[in-house]
Amino acid sequence: MITDTILIAESGSTKTDWCLMENGKKKNFQTQGINPFFLQEHEIISIFKSELKINLSKTKIDEIHFYGAGINSEDKKKIIERSLKNHFQIKKVKSYSDMLAAAKATCQHQKGITTILGTGSNSCYYDGKKIAYKTRALGYILGDEGGGTHIGKKVLQYFLHAIFDKELQAAFSEKYMTDTDSILENIYRKPFPNRYIAQFASFIFEHRGHYMIENIAEDCINDFFINHLLQYPQIWKMPVHFSGSISYYLRDIIKNMCEQYEIQCGQIIQKPMKGLIEYHLHP
C-alpha cells in the first residue's frame, strides 16, 4: 500500500486536473492548462501560486507526477519539472506526455492503442509499459484531426461562409455574439488561438441531430481514423481506447465508426484522472 503523499496532474491545453492523495484520501483541484510549448517557467509558477489552492504549510508532498500536453521533448520536460521543484520545494518530480496519461489510464499494464480527442488530437500504441509507437501530431494548424480545434474550425468556416442554414446561423450568432473581425482578431492576433477555436466545438454538441452538424462531426472523426488509426498495423488485433471531451460527447459516432472499420472499441473516457490514480495505486 502506498503511504507517501502523491500529487498527480493531468493537463490539456485548456485546463489541468490535479489530485492530491494523502492518508488514503483524495482531494481534487483544477487550474488553467499548463503547456510548456506556450508558457515559460515563470508563467507556470505564477499559475501554481494564483490558482492551485494547496496549503503547502500544512501538506508535505513526497512526489509529483505531471502529465501534460506539449511535453514532447527533454527541453519541455525540464521546464515543467523545474517549475514544480521550484514551487513545491521537492526533488521527486516526474513529467510525462498527455499521451502516456491516456495510455496508462485506459490500458493500465496491458497492450492497446489509445487516442486523445480533446482540444487537440493524438494517438499511440502502448505495449503495457511504454509508448512503443505513435503517429505524428501536427498541431492545430496542420493536424488535430477530430479534436476541438479541427471541429471548431469547421464550425467557424460554416458560419463565416454562411453555409449553415438560417436556423444554425441564428443560433450561432445568439450564442457567441461575435462577428468576423472579432473572430479573426482572436485567431491571428491574440494568444492561445487553439483554445479560442476549440471552444466552438461545443456548438456541435448542442445541436446534435441537425444534418449539417452530424456531417461536420462525422467528417472530422473520420479524418482522425484515416490519418491516424488506420496507420497502425496492429489496429485490428487489440482494443482501441478513446479519451478526451470530444471522444466522450461524440462517443456514438466513434462506436459506429469502429464498427464500420471493424475495429474493437475499448474504453471511451472523458478524463484520464481516475485511471491514473488506479495506475499509481497499483504500479
Rounded Cα distance, 149 and 30, in Å: 22
pLDDT recorded at residue 3:
61
Rounded Cα distance, 220 and 204, in Å: 11
Contact 31, 246 (CB under 8 A): no
Angle between the N-to-C axes of helices 251-260 and 211-227, in degrees from 0 to 180, rounded to the nearest 10: 50
Rounded Cα distance, 161 and 185, in Å: 17
Task: Report the alpha-carbon angle 81-274-97, nearest 5.
Answer: 35
Report residue 195's pLDDT band, with 50, 70 and 90 as the boundaries. confident
Specify the DSSP class assigned to residue 32: E
Name the nearest CA neighbour of 68 among 254, 239, 268, 272: 272
Task: Tell me the three state secondary structure of residue 266.
Answer: strand
What amino acid is encoded at 276 in this protein?
A: L
Contact 128, 107 (CB under 8 A): yes
Residue-wise pLDDT tens digits, 121-177: 999 999 999 999 888 877 778 878 999 999 999 999 999 999 999 999 999 999 999
Sort residue 128 into left (φ over 0), alpha (ψ -120 to 50) or beta: left
- Strands in 6-11's sheet, in edge-to-edge order, are 25-32, 15-22, 6-11, 63-68, 93-97
In which element (H, E) is residue 19 found?
A: strand 15-22
Residue-wise pLDDT tens digits, 248-273: 999 999 999 999 999 999 999 998 99
What amino acid is encoded at 142 in this protein?
A: L
Name the nearest CA neighbour of 219 among 155, 272, 140: 155
pTM for this predicted structure: 0.84
Q: At which residue does the C-alpha cell 472523426 appear?
A: 221
Residue-wise pLDDT tens digits, 51-110: 998 888 888 899 999 999 888 889 999 999 999 999 999 989 999 998 999 999 999 999
How many residues in the chain? 283
Report residue 2's pLDDT band, with 50, 70 and 90 as the boundaries. low
Rounded Cα distance, 251 and 17, in Å: 22
HSE on the CB side for 31, CA within 13 Å?
22
Domains of the chain: 6-101+273-281 (3.30.420.40), 141-218 (1.10.720.160)
Name the nearest CA neighbour of 241 among 103, 99, 69: 103
